[in-house]
Chain A
């Protein structure tokens, strides 16, 4: 039994921690410079769609509580191992490892810009940060929560303050006069919903820490929705601040719009402050990804979709194999300079398509379990089912359709997605047929998926293999 030592505060910190990242601030600048303050409407639509996802995730969590793998287990119980492997390996593990590496690289670039006199390469900053976060995560969830709280709340307060200062014209920089709205037509506003979606993506990362949360049935859904609301308010304030202190043209041209805004609002002090915000954002995001992905890998190993080695934990209970492997890959990507290449932004968008597919699958999971287990007690039920799930599915499909405003880039993303999808299908086929030897699309009974969460489940099967009394085979 895990000790339940996390509260609503920690849930919000985790939710905000992953969602607000440096790349989000970049997307915010790009979106705002495209249509002006009407980008807030795009944000509201995207935020609402993510709130629907939070509802669906909360219901799944209520029906199958305290699972370390989260969406992997839900999908396994609804669609079987084949879809689960594709969604989780493509949509989460690979996609987030790359995105997180890019986050680190952006942090390194910001530091190199702010402190050019030190002549330290950006990748060195990244490696130091990653090593520190790996050590923190290896010390277990307590340290994770403490780090998460400090960085997430530091981040929220900083961005809120800078947003309010920009809105109230109380910065030391020059207030500029420019039109607040560049475009307000339906096509422009809705066309940027795909960009806005990235500002809120990742709220479901709360799920892996659920079994350590006190009164999880209330705190988890509430924490997720509060995280989204906080982010919506914070980013809306920043958009208005952008309008008052940075020209739309400069904002569009900047690769670090948050640093630009800081400089225009408060001069050198603002630049340093935004560098600090970058450190907080990256620390928060990478910390959350590192921790959550290692727990997701542990959860997938529990349901035999990844090798057993991911089940190993150290004395602090941290799944160290996942932490070291994912952290190591992130370091490798940064050291080789891969994350600084321009094409990686393209790969991020491709990864995000898989992430959105995972969101669609989540909504479908809710509908499947409502049909299969209509009377099972749910401590949280998503309202207006199936209407809201259908809206969530259609909205997310629409986001995928608007993943990039350039049709050529969009088609390239779809092509790459298709190739990755085929590769994942081959892997999922081999793993399902040769390793776990299960029907590809047959859903596991919920009770079996729940049983796999028990540590003794694996011990008993290993022991029975050693004794020769049974094959190492999973119940069907």
Chain B
């Protein structure tokens, strides 16, 4: 597998269902050409304790979450993150987490295009 010429990043956003729609409708503005959303269960630092509960649970409780995954050129990540952070922010526990990681390459199976070409309309037809 070759390494992409242009640096790519994977942004994984863990949030709740109500926020996914807001993200989906705005993603086009940041040059993002695709997204994958999957249902998940999980907990964070509070181990699933709700903000209104009196005592923090010792045993992790897994809460329903959504994971939004996008792969995009690294150059656009900062601007995109700024938007996502503001969109998800409520100030309450459970606003979510964002993980950013490097992607070595991407391949469009149908055409064999790689790197940024695989994420956009591409040149092959």
A64 to B91, alpha carbons, bound, how many Å? 6
Contact check: which of B54, B91, B93 meets A65 at CB < 8 Å? B91
A451 at the interface (CB under 8 A from B): yes
Report whether B92 and A450 are in contact in the complex, using a CB–CB cutoff of 8 Å.
yes
Say yes or no: is A405 at the interface (Cβ < 8 Å to chain B): no
Residue B50 CB within 8 A of the other chain: yes
21 intermolecular pairs with C-beta atoms under 8 Å apart: A63-B91, A64-B91, A65-B90, A378-B86, A379-B86, A379-B89, A446-B91, A447-B91, A447-B92, A447-B93, A450-B93, A451-B51, A454-B52, A456-B50, A457-B51, A457-B52, A459-B52, A460-B52, A460-B54, A470-B54, A470-B55
Closest 3 CB pairs of A and B: A451-B51, A377-B85, A457-B52
Indicate whether B82 reaches chain A with its CB closer than 8 angstroms. Answer: yes
In the complex, the chain B residue whose C-beta lies closest to that of A475 is: B54
Q: How far is the CB of A370 from chain B (nearest CB, A)?
A: 15
Q: Could you count the A-B residue pairs with CB atoms below 8 Å apart for me: how many are there?
A: 43
Instruction: Assess whether B78 is interfacial by the CB under 8 Å rule.
Output: no
CA distance A463 to B82 in the complex (A): 40
Whole-angstrom distance between the Cβ of B94 and the nearest chain A Cβ: 10
Is B53 part of the binding interface, using a Cβ–Cβ cutoff of 8 Å? yes
- Give Cα distance in the complex from A450 to B91, angstroms: 7
CB <8 Å contact, A447 and B86:
no
A172 at the A/B interface (Cβ < 8 Å)? no
Most B Cβ at <10 Å: residue of A376, A451, A459, A461: A451
- Residues of A near B93 (CB, < 8 A) are 447, 450-451
Q: Give the docked Cα–Cα distance between A461 and B51 (Å).
A: 12
Complex Cα spacing A456 to B91, Å? 17
- A470 vs B55: C-alpha distance when bound (angstroms): 9
Pick the residue among A64, A376, A377, A461 that contacts B54 (CB under 8 A).
A461
Contacts of A377 in B (CB 8 A): 82, 85-86, 89
With a CB–CB cut-off of 8 A, which chain B residues contact A66?
90
Using C-beta atoms within 8 Å of the partner chain, give the interface range for chain B.
10 to 19
Assess whether A464 is interfacial by the CB under 8 Å rule. yes
Q: Mark B45-59, 1 if CB is under 8 A from A, else 0.
A: 000001111110000
> Contact flags (1/0) for A428-463 with B, using CB distance below 8 Å?
000000000000000000110011001011011100
CA distance in complex: A464, B52 (Å): 12
A379–B85 Cα gap in the complex (Å)? Answer: 9
Query: Chain B 10-52 against A: per-residue CB contact (8 Å), 1 yes, 0 no?
Result: 0000000000000000000000000000000000000000111
Partner of B51, one of A63, A64, A447: A447
B35 to chain A, nearest CB (A): 20
Additional 19 contacts, C-beta under 8 A, given A378-B86, A460-B54: A64-B91, A66-B90, A376-B89, A377-B82, A377-B86, A447-B92, A450-B51, A450-B90, A451-B51, A454-B51, A454-B52, A456-B50, A456-B52, A457-B52, A461-B54, A464-B54, A469-B54, A470-B54, A470-B55
Which residues 79-125 in B have Cβ within 8 Å of A in the complex? 82, 85-86, 89-93
- What residue of chain B has the Cβ atom nearest to residue A448's Cβ? B51
Chain A residue contacts of B54, Cβ below 8 A: 460-461, 464, 469-470
A456 to B92, CA, bound (A): 14
Kindly state the separation between the CA atoms of A460 and B82 in the bound complex, as whole angstroms.
35
Q: How far does the Cβ of B84 sit from chain A's closest Cβ, in whole Å?
A: 9
A464 to B55, CA, bound (A): 10
Nearest B-chain residue to A473, judged by Cβ: B54
B86 to chain A, nearest CB (A): 5
Given A377-B82, A377-B85: A451 touches B52 (CB 8 Å cut-off): yes
* Assembled-state Cα–Cα distance A377/B90 (Å): 10
Please report the C-alpha to C-alpha distance between residue A459 and residue B51 in the assembled complex, in whole angstroms.
12
CA distance A156 to B63 in the complex (A): 51
A451 CA to B86 CA in the complex, in Å?
A: 19
B97 to chain A, nearest CB (A): 13
CA distance in complex: A454, B92 (Å): 10
Instruction: Collect the chain A residues with CB atoms within 8 Å of residue B51's CB.
Output: 447, 450-451, 454, 457
* Distance between Cα atoms of A234 and B93 in the complex (Å): 44
In whole angstroms, how far apart are the Cα atoms of A99 and B54 in the complex?
A: 40
CA distance A451 to B51 in the complex (A): 5
Q: Which residues from chain A contact B53 at a C-beta distance below 8 Å?
A: 460
Q: Which residues of chain B are within 8 angstroms of A454 by Cβ–Cβ distance?
A: 51-52, 92
CA distance A65 to B54 in the complex (A): 23
Closest to B90 in A: A65
Q: What are the residues of chain B within 8 A of A456 when measuring CB–CB?
A: 50, 52
Residues of A within 8 A of B52 (CB): 451, 454, 456-457, 459-460
CB-CB contacts below 8 Å: A264-296 with B: none
Produce 1/0 per residue, A59-103, CB < 8 A to B.
000011110000000000000000000000000000000000000
